[in-house]
Amino acid sequence: MQTSKEKVVIVDDSLTNLSAARNALANTYEVFTIPSGEKLFRLLESIIPDVIILDIGMPSMDGYEICARLKAVEKTRDIPVIFLTAYNSDENEARGLTLGAIDYITKPFSPEVFRKRIELHLLLVAQHRQLSLYSDNLQQLVDEKTKTVIELQKTIFDVLAEVVAYRDDSTGQHVHRVKNLMNVFFDALKRSDVYAGEIAQWNGNLLAMSSVLHDVGKVAVRDAVLTSSVQLLDDEFEEMKQHTVIGGKLLEKIEEDTADSEFILHAKRMAETHHERWDGTGYPFGLSQDGIPLEGRLMAIVDVFDALVSQRSYKESYSIEQAVEMIRSGSGTHFDPALVDVFLGVKAELEKAVAAEEELTKNGIKDKI
Ligand SMILES: [Fe+2]
């Protein structure tokens, strides 16, 4: 198989010098001899050489100017440039290297040494290219693996959330709907300028993933309390309230062992504070207004809205219109008023998210695990 030779371009106004340089390299490389900068740039319209060897003292356009022009254009910036010149002062060499040349060879030169230096530079360039390629491939591999890990993590958390949901007299539908509603809500929040500074670095997908774990603490609540269809006694209600604290602790344990914990941190705040109320009458801490983490204030609205439009064994579902009105009436007492405005501003999208989830369940696409 014939392998193509590396292309070397030599630019010099002296035919004698061009011929000497060509003689030194022609056996090993495909050599182009060019008498001026103008002709070099014309040649570069059709080929990209592996290296350009430049004389300095030439009429009209000198080697420094050619080098500067090559380095200023993206297409030619990475072509290695070597000066080959009779100018042998340190100043000339420093100027050439400062312009981006990789070597500076003075005439007269030994053909053997000249060839070896070109060979060395081309080898370095090839290694650099190979390293870049390897680095790109490695990054791609890391990205793929990371994606797989995130998908796996997402599935584990979804299943965990569904386990909790089934104990809580609801279905997997609840988990998926909460995620969809949170996605719609967060997108609307991003489009508004409400809490823009606080959410600037947040990732909507991670936030939606986190939301499914808000009730994870219910794994520790007894069935008799969790599924009771009559009013809970005081001590039973106290036990129920503990699902927030327990959820927070469970997620804190995961947070301690997780290097990238943005997702878990959101989940922990949601689990702990989704039953807090704007006016300070919620639980477990009785936090109020901005004292409630933003994740908890978002989750409070999504959780209540979802519960209202859900059918349970002890209640029929409310219509979207009724649910919207109930969220509106809780603005400033139960819920953060600025967030209620954003949430209700995308009513049509919320309706779509609820309908889409119902359709999937009706068609049996999402069955009970
Ligand atoms: Fe809850």
* Residue 269: closest CA among 180, 202, 183, 187: 202
10 and 22 in contact (C-beta within 8 Å)?
yes
Residue 67, SS3? Answer: helix
* Residue 79: closest CA among 108, 51, 42: 51
Instruction: Respond yes or no on whether the N-terminal peptide bond of residue 108 is cis (omega within 30° of 0).
Output: yes
Q: How far apart are CA 53 and CA 127, in angstroms?
A: 20
pLDDT digits (tens, 9 = 90+) for 285-299: 999 999 999 999 999
List the shell of residues around ion ligand 1, using CB closer than 5 Å: 215
200 C-alpha vs ligand 1 centroid, how far in Å? 27
Q: Is the pLDDT of residue 7 over 90?
A: yes
The third-level CATH classification (topology) of the domain covering 7-109 is Rossmann fold (3.40.50)
236 C-alpha vs ligand 1 centroid, how far in Å? 15
pLDDT digits (tens, 9 = 90+) for 319-345: 999 999 999 999 999 999 999 999 999
Q: Is the pLDDT of residue 365 over 50?
A: no
pLDDT digits (tens, 9 = 90+) for 184-206: 999 999 999 999 999 999 999 88
State how far the alpha carbon of 10 is from the alpha carbons of 14, 32, 38, 55, 166, in Å.
Answer: 11, 6, 13, 8, 76
Instruction: Note the pLDDT of residue 63.
Output: 95
Q: Is the pLDDT of residue 369 over 90?
A: no
233 — pLDDT class (breaks 50, 70, 90): confident
Q: How far apart are CA 108 and CA 334, in angstroms?
A: 87
Q: Is the pLDDT of residue 1 over 60?
A: no
Instruction: Note the pLDDT of residue 318.
Output: 87
3 C-alpha vs ligand 1 centroid, how far in Å? 68
Instruction: Note the pLDDT of residue 298.
Output: 98
Per the model's pLDDT, the better-predicted residue between 294 and 17 turns out to be: 294
195 C-alpha vs ligand 1 centroid, how far in Å? 24
C-alpha neighbours within 13 Å on the C-beta side of residue 154: 13
243 C-alpha vs ligand 1 centroid, how far in Å? 7
Per the model's pLDDT, the better-predicted residue between 211 and 261 turns out to be: 211
For 325, the enclosing helix (H) or strand (E) is: helix 320-329
191 C-alpha vs ligand 1 centroid, how far in Å? 28
C-alpha neighbours within 13 Å on the C-beta side of residue 251: 31
214 C-alpha vs ligand 1 centroid, how far in Å? 6
Per the model's pLDDT, the better-predicted residue between 170 and 21 turns out to be: 21
Mean residue pLDDT of the chain comes to: 88
DSSP states along 114-164: HHHHHHHHHHHHHHHHHHHHHHHHHHHHHHHHHHHHHHHHHHHHHHHHHHH
318 C-alpha vs ligand 1 centroid, how far in Å? 19
> Token pair for residue 88?
């042998």
| Percent of the residues in the chain that have a pLDDT greater than 90, as a whole number | 57
DSSP states along 254-306: HHHT-SS-HHHHHHHHHHHHTT--TTS--SSS---GGGS-HHHHHHHHHHHHH
Instruction: Note the pLDDT of residue 68.
Output: 95
- 151-165, 191-205, 349-363, range with the lowest pLDDT: 349-363
- 34-38, 42-46, 161-165, 310-314, range with the lowest pLDDT: 310-314
> Token pair for residue 349?
């999208």
Region 118-144 average pLDDT: 90
338 C-alpha vs ligand 1 centroid, how far in Å? 22
219 C-alpha vs ligand 1 centroid, how far in Å? 11
| Percent of the residues in the chain that have a pLDDT greater than 70, as a whole number | 92
351 C-alpha vs ligand 1 centroid, how far in Å? 22
174 — pLDDT class (breaks 50, 70, 90): confident
Q: Is the pLDDT of residue 152 over 70?
A: yes
228 C-alpha vs ligand 1 centroid, how far in Å? 15
4 C-alpha vs ligand 1 centroid, how far in Å? 69
Region 19-37 average pLDDT: 93
Instruction: Note the pLDDT of residue 175.
Output: 77
Label residue 167 exposed, middle or buried (CB < 10 Å: 0-12, 13-18, 19+): middle
Instruction: Note the pLDDT of residue 65.
Output: 95
- Crossing angle between the packed helical segments 294-309 and 204-211, to the nearest 10 degrees: 60
Domain ranges of the chain: 7-109, 141-362
220 C-alpha vs ligand 1 centroid, how far in Å? 12
Q: How far apart are CA 190 and CA 200, in angstroms?
A: 8
pLDDT digits (tens, 9 = 90+) for 75-101: 999 999 999 988 888 898 899 899 999
Give the CATH H-level superfamily of domain 141-362: Hypothetical protein af1432 (1.10.3210.10)
Per the model's pLDDT, the better-predicted residue between 148 and 270 turns out to be: 270
- Crossing angle between the packed helical segments 320-329 and 347-362, to the nearest 10 degrees: 130
